[in-house]
């Protein structure tokens, strides 16, 4: 059995890396303004990142985002269909930096 110092540190926010399936799935869901089916997520990944991820892989990465990353990915059944749609609740939204006035001073 190894010591604590031999353990690899877990990557923080690994889902922000567009070079991974997890990252691509996260970034597409984060930026979506509507509910998406698996084929729409796959098309968006292909257009945006020039990579083809299978529907099975995307479905698995959605489970990973829920279970390993603790994100809320909602699922609902599309009306009159057997297909599910997905949407991320409370996606990543960067906090804007404070703005000074145009002369470099602080805004009161």
- For residue 66, give the CATH number of its domain: 1.10.10.10
Number of domains in the chain: 1
Does the reported pTM lie above 0.75?
no
Residue 85 lies in a domain: yes
- Quote the domain boundaries for residue 49: 15-89
Please tell me the distance from the alpha carbon of residue 64 to that of residue 94, in angstroms, as a whole number.
22
pLDDT score of 10: 46
pLDDT score of 90: 76
Which band of pLDDT confidence, cut at 50, 70 and 90, is reported for residue 15?
A: confident
Residue 89 has phi, psi (to 5 degrees) of -95, 130
Q: Where are the alpha helices (DSSP H) in 1-108?
A: 21-31, 38-49, 55-67
Higher pLDDT, 3 or 13: 13
What is the tens place of the pLDDT at every residue in 18-60? 999 999 999 999 999 999 999 999 999 999 999 999 999 999 9
pLDDT score of 16: 83
62-86 b/e with 16+ CB inside 10 Å = b? bebbeeeeebebeeeeeeeeeeebb
What is the tens place of the pLDDT at every residue in 59-81? 999 999 999 888 999 999 988 88
């Amino acid at each position: 059995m190894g010591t604590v110092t031999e353990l690899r540190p877990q990557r923080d926010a690994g889902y922000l890396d567009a070079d991974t399936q997890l990252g691509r799935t996260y970034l597409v869901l984060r930026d979506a303004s509507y509910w998406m089916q698996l084929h729409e997520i796959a098309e968006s990944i292909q257009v945006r990142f020039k990579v083809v991820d299978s529907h099975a892989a995307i479905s698995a990465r959605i489970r990973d985002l829920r279970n390993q990353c603790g994100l809320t990915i909602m699922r609902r059944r599309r009306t009159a269909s057997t297909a599910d749609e997905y949407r991320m609740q409370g996606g990543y939204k960067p906090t804007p930096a404070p703005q000074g006035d145009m002369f470099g001073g602080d805004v009161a």
